[in-house]
Amino acid sequence: MKLTISLDILEEAFYYVSPVKPVSTVPLIYATFSVEKGQVAYTTNNEMKFARKVERAFKSAFHKIVQENRAYREILDQDKILSPQEHLALQNKLLDSLIMAIQEYPELTLIRVELTGSWPVFQTEAGHLDLTE
């Protein structure tokens, strides 16, 4: 079976999104895992999620990912202007840290990672978001 989780590093939160991946206006990462029957539990709405032990492992990995990428999270949150090369380098670092953190836990079998939503790659001062308007 496959289970997909949406990771929101801006909110420092994750959500189960299997089987439907919603469209987002914020930068999200979809991480899809291969899971065995004993690794899943179901909510009262019959939605699949990690079993408690596996979810604890995932939460530990997610916490590590958020901590290692705190600087990029702040850049995204404050809408700072970076060159395309800087954004892509920081996104690459984020993805590498995500993969490495998850691979530390043998009960987590990561099979796919996707960037979705509004990830900045190129922005000028004219494209800067003014949240006071």
Longest Cα–Cα distance of the chain, Å, equals: 52
Best CA proximity match to 90, nearest among 80, 105, 103: 80
What pLDDT does 124 receive?
77
Q: How many CA atoms lie within 13 A of 23 on its CB side?
A: 0
Q: Are 113 and 98 in contact (CB under 8 A)?
A: yes
Q: How many CA atoms lie within 13 A of 91 on its CB side?
A: 20
β-partners of residue 29 are: 7, 115
What pLDDT does 79 receive?
85
pTM of the predicted protein model? 0.88
The domain limits of the chain are 2-121
One digit per residue, pLDDT tens: the chain, 133 residues?
999 999 999 999 999 997 778 888 889 999 999 999 999 999 999 999 999 999 999 999 999 999 999 999 999 998 888 999 999 999 999 999 999 999 999 999 999 999 998 898 887 777 766 655 5
